[in-house]
């Protein structure tokens, strides 16, 4: 197999209250109270048709602040090095991120979402509907994450996140 250049162009931009990676929860499950907006660029707006019937969506995005590729990394939930493909860190060979977020509503080209674990200004590559019919799997193995107790996961998963004010921040 030869290495082939693949080019993706953003279809939108993700807006959130998160400015610093070290203060951003590591997964949507630790960011339930974090709201944001997905701005879909005009040429792709027609693709939002029928999406409002789903409670959750997958957001695929480019980790635009990722710099160095690392194949072994300490995940936020543990102090043990793991292979990058067994974690969701941004320092991947292809800096592609994935989050399942709650879709609150769609207003024109703007998706209002909750469970945002994404830094403000992140380029959006794609949106896909989450559907339990296809996506729900009752797992039996969770790899190294089965070693992490829930209390530790909750504490480390939120990282240094704290709500800045009791009101929702105006995203845009």
Mean pLDDT across the stretch 48-68? 95
Domain map (residue ranges) of the chain: 12-157
DSSP 92: S
Q: The pTM is what?
A: 0.77
Total residues belonging to the chain? 172
Domain 12-157 CATH assignment equals 1.10.1760.20: no
Query: What would the pLDDT profile of 91-145 be if each residue is shown by its tens digit?
Result: 899 999 999 999 999 999 999 999 898 899 999 999 999 998 888 877 776 665 6
- Alpha-carbon distances of 115 from 2, 36, 49, 51, 70, rounded to whole Å: 38, 8, 22, 18, 27
pLDDT at 162 over 70: no
Is the Cα torsion angle 126, 19, 115, 80 positive or negative in sign? Answer: positive
Place of tokens 């951003």: 24
Q: Which residue has the higher pLDDT, 168 or 156?
A: 156
Q: Dump strand ranges (E) for 24-167.
A: 35-40, 56-62, 72-73, 82-83, 96-107, 110-114, 122-129
**Total Cβ atoms within 10 A of residue 18:** 22
Say what the pLDDT of residue 87 is: 84
Q: Which residue has the higher pLDDT, 54 or 168?
A: 54
């Amino acid at each position: 197999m030869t290495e082939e250049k693949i080019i993706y162009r953003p279809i939108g931009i993700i807006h959130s209250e998160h400015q610093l990676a070290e203060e951003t929860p590591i997964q949507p499950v630790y960011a339930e109270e974090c709201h944001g907006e997905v701005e879909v660029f005009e040429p792709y707006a027609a693709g939002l048709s029928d999406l409002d019937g789903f409670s959750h969506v997958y957001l695929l995005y480019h980790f635009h602040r990722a710099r160095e590729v690392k194949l072994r990394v300490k995940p936020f939930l543990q102090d043990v090095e793991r292979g990058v493909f067994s974690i969701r860190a941004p320092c991947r060979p292809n800096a592609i991120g994935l989050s399942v977020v709650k879709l609150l509503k769609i207003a024109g080209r703007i998706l209002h979402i909750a469970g945002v674990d994404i830094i403000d200004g992140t380029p959006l590559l794609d949106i896909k509907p989450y559907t339990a019919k296809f996506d729900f799997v009752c797992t039996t193995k969770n790899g190294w994450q089965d070693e992490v107790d829930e209390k530790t996961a909750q504490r480390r998963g939120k990282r240094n996140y704290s709500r800045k004010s009791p009101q929702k921040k105006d995203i845009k």
